[in-house]
Amino acid sequence: MAAKVKTDHELLEEIQALRIQLQEAEETLDAIRHGEIDALVVNGPEGEQVFTLQGADHPYRLMVETMREGAVTVGLDGTIVYCNQSFAELLGIALERLLGTAISLYVANQDAATLAALLEDGKRDSVKAEIRLKSETEVLVPVSISTSSQQMDQLPAVCLVVTDLTEHQHNEELRVSEKLAKALHEQSELSLAREQEARSEAENANRIKDEFLATVSHELRNPLNAILGWSSILRSRKTNKAQGAHGLEVIERNARIQLKLIEDLLDVSRIESGKLAFSLGELDVVALIETAVEAAQPAAAARQIQLKWNAGNECAIVLGDAGRLQQVVGNLLSNALKFTPAGGKVDVEIGIQLGNVVITVADSGEGISAEFLPFVFDRFRQADASAKRLHGGLGLGLAVVRHLVELHRGHVTADSLGIGRGARFTVTLPLTTVQNNKTVNAVISNAELMAVSTEHKSSLLDGLKILVLDDDPDAREFLQILLTNNGAQVKAVATASEAYSEVQGEVPDILICDIGLPDEDGYEFIRGIRSLTGSSSANIPALALTAFALPNDRKKALIAGYQDHLTKPVESHELLNSVASIVRRNDPLPKSNLT
Amino acid sequence: MKINSESLSQFEDALAKRSGEAYVLRLYVSGATPRSTEAIAKIKNICEEYLSGHYDLEVIDIYQQPQLAVQEHIVAAPTLVKESPGKLRRMIGNLSNTRLILQRLGVSS
């Protein structure tokens, strides 16, 4: 057996190769020690692997770790192999808790299918989708995800770059709110302009009121001048009979002018405070106009104006207040006469249109300028408020007309072809459909109680005997006046004991009681009355009138024995209606005329 | 008889020059790290300056082709491999020393 003996040359070669290998190995170690190496390649049991040495991939790492986008590597089975801090922050979940978990856990349920498709397609192509991630607090975060495929341990994996769209949406929102802010700004500028407009309107209204006051003062003083002047002349008794008669006529005419002015003023004030009293009834408009025209004829004749009334064949019945509607026609007529020169004419007509009665008052007078036409019904407005104006009056007549017509659910319009071409006023009132509504009582305010009751001899409670029990003298007085004026015989007392003695005498038809009383309250009092067994007084109907206004108070009053319960302050008509209905209910043959 | 490695490479170098054989070089880098880009630029410069016209330089990213690195017994990046002429030589790590590189490549400066 002869061993193969290497030649010197062969040995030298081998040594040389080994030296080089050794040198390379030493160089590699040196390079590693000196940090000159970026990465090492290892062929281990899992195949080739590249190990990046610390610091070598710093720029990449930095990029991936610091970028605002989330970066995620998802393995074949859908688990998160790697993710950066941004992704963890996006979900609000600590990074170490994310690694190794399924990415599907962090996606909105509705987007699960989209994600699955994204991961599947992402193994082959670079794809992109918008989905919503689900944060730890279940907040949905809209994101855009783009994928890139990669090999990881020779298995496909998908890299995801996740862009938060919240900010994008936030920017969108910012844009919207900027728009909104701009709109608001414009709005506020607009309202500022409106406010300025309103202010100038208010200033204008103030100016008009000032003008009006000056006019009132002037208009009231003028007739006074004539009245006082002629009064002193008559007192001097240096006048003959004819002069005396003329003087008295002047005084009377001026007094009437003043009366009319004052009535207009009072009407305006009542209209403004919503306390205009009127009672509704069925009215024949034709007869009403006829009366008004007849009343205006003397004035027309005096001014040499031809006042014509064309009644036609119409029969128009409206629901309204006769006095007020006559006032409407009267005001329109006096307005027409005032602005029509001698030799002119005024025509009054009536017609029926679509369930309405239409009254027109047309004149051949001065007419109305187009500028003034819209304001013709405004109170205190006069086309010419200057001191040298031709026409007297307060400029209230037409304002009163409009209010009265509107109170009758009608409307009034004015038109004119212009200055010098006459004017026409048209009043439209709804024809009545109610047939058996003889007296409808409108709201009567306390302040006007007396005026109303003297004007309209109301007999709502005709002959009714009423006993009022109230410790407050003002309340007693009010009730006494209201009820008396409506036809009742009223006795008013302040205490329960007085009331007891009253009912022992003449039994009243109804009791009206206050509840808060000094000696015995209204509940005890009515229980006392109801317990008067065997006496006719036990069944007197009673009305509780009290400032106790809780629902329970009403119940208490009814249980105690009252038929009705009203709370103070009470509207007059409410009280009257209650009294009337209690009495009617209680009495098969009512004494009131409400049937 | 002592064989000097330096003289050997000089011989190989001379042989290459004589035969006009091209230098086949492979530069293994790891992605686009600063060191990698620096190494690529450096080697390209050297090649252009000293081996202009008769060199073939291939840059291999070990991230992209780790199997190639393993086949060529490359363990670290950056590594410059001179496949030919002459015997295969590897230069590992710092490639900033031009003189040393030229010496290893067998190019007389």
Chains A & B: contacts with CB separation below 8 Å: 87
In angstroms, rounded to a whole number, what is the distance separating the alpha carbons of residues A512 and A26? 124
At A515 the three-state DSSP class reads coil
Verify cis geometry, omega within 30 degrees of 0, for the bond prior to B66: no
pLDDT at A460: 65
Which residue of B5, B30, B70 is in closest CB contact with A56?
B30
pLDDT at A385: 53
Which residue type, as a one-letter code, is found at position A46?
A: E
Which residue of A43, A47, A56 is in closest CB contact with B33?
A56
Answer for the pair B94, A36: CB distance below 8 angstroms, yes or no. Answer: yes
* Residue A72 CB contacts under 8 Å (≥ 6 apart), including other chains: A80, A82, A83, A84, A87, A103, A159, A160, A162
Q: Which of A181-190, A333-342, A572-581 has the highest mean pLDDT?
A: A333-342
Answer for the pair A485, A453: CB distance below 8 angstroms, yes or no. Answer: yes
In angstroms, rounded to a whole number, what is the distance separating the alpha carbons of residues B82 and A14? 20
Tell me if chain A has a CB within 8 Å of the CB of B105: no
pLDDT at A360: 92
Residue A93 has pLDDT above 80, yes or no: yes
Residue window 31-70, chain B: list those with CB within 8 Å of chain A: 31-36, 62-63, 66-67, 69-70
Average pLDDT estimate for A334-347? 88
Tell me if chain B has a CB within 8 Å of the CB of A19: yes
Long-range contact pairs involving A24-31 (C-beta distance under 8 Å, separation at least 24): A24/B90, A24/B92, A27/B91, A27/B92, A27/B93, A28/B75, A28/B76, A28/B92, A28/B93, A30/B93, A31/B76, A31/B92, A31/B93, A31/B94
Phi, psi of A563 (to 5 degrees): -85, -30
Residues of A in contact with B66 (CB under 8 A): 41, 48-50
User: B55: distance to nearest CA of chain A, Å?
Assistant: 23
Token reading at A220: 């009231």
Residue A178 has pLDDT above 90, yes or no: no
pLDDT at A361: 93
CB contact under 8 A, B76 and A30: no
Determine the residue among A38, A42, A48 to mutate to test chain B binding: the one whose Cβ has the most chain B Cβ atoms within 10 Å. A38
For the segment B51-88, what is each residue's pLDDT rounded down to a tens digit?
A: 888 888 888 888 878 888 888 888 888 899 998 888 88
Residues of B in contact with A24 (CB under 8 A): 90, 92
Residue A441 has pLDDT above 70, yes or no: no
pLDDT at B7: 64
Query: Taking CA A333 as the corner, what is the angle to CA A332 and CA A334, rounded to the nearest 5 degrees?
Result: 95
For the segment A221-232, what is each residue's pLDDT rounded down to a tens digit?
A: 777 877 888 888
The percent of residues above 90 in pLDDT, for chain A, comes to 8
CB contact under 8 A, A30 and B93: yes
Residue A386 has pLDDT above 70, yes or no: no
- Lookup result for tokens 């030919």: B84
User: A125: distance to nearest CA of chain B, Å?
Assistant: 18
Q: Chain A residue with minimal CA distance to B68?
A: A48
Tell me if chain B has a CB within 8 Å of the CB of A304: no
Verify cis geometry, omega within 30 degrees of 0, for the bond prior to B78: yes
Please state at what angle helix B98-105 crosses helix B34-50, rounded to 10 degrees.
60
Tell me if chain A has a CB within 8 Å of the CB of B100: no
**What ranges make up the beta strands (E) of A436-525?**
465-469, 489-493, 510-513
Residues of A in contact with B93 (CB under 8 A): 27-28, 30-32, 34, 36-37
In angstroms, rounded to a whole number, what is the distance separating the alpha carbons of residues B77 and A548? 100
CB contact under 8 A, B69 and A16: no
In angstroms, rounded to a whole number, what is the distance separating the alpha carbons of residues A301 and A306? 7
Which CA distances in Å does A274 have to A278, A320, A401?
11, 17, 15
pLDDT at B11: 59
The percent of residues above 70 in pLDDT, for chain A, comes to 86
Tell me if chain B has a CB within 8 Å of the CB of A209: no
CB contact under 8 A, B77 and A12: no
Determine the residue among B70, B73, B80, B95 to mutate to test chain A binding: the one whose Cβ has the most chain A Cβ atoms within 10 Å. B70
Q: Where are the alpha helices (DSSP H) in A308-432?
A: 322-338, 397-407
Phi, psi of A492 (to 5 degrees): -125, 130
3-state helix, strand, coil in chain B (%, to 5): 40, 25, 35
Tell me if chain B has a CB within 8 Å of the CB of A42: yes
Tell me if chain B has a CB within 8 Å of the CB of A49: yes
In angstroms, rounded to a whole number, what is the distance separating the alpha carbons of residues A546 and A534? 29
pLDDT at B20: 59
Average pLDDT estimate for A501-526? 86
Tell me if chain A has a CB within 8 Å of the CB of B4: no
pLDDT at A443: 34
pLDDT at A452: 38
Other C-beta atoms lying within 10 Å of the C-beta of residue B31: 19
Q: Which pairing describes strands A465-469 and A510-513: parallel, antiparallel, or unpaired?
A: parallel
At B56 the three-state DSSP class reads strand
Average pLDDT estimate for B83-99? 83
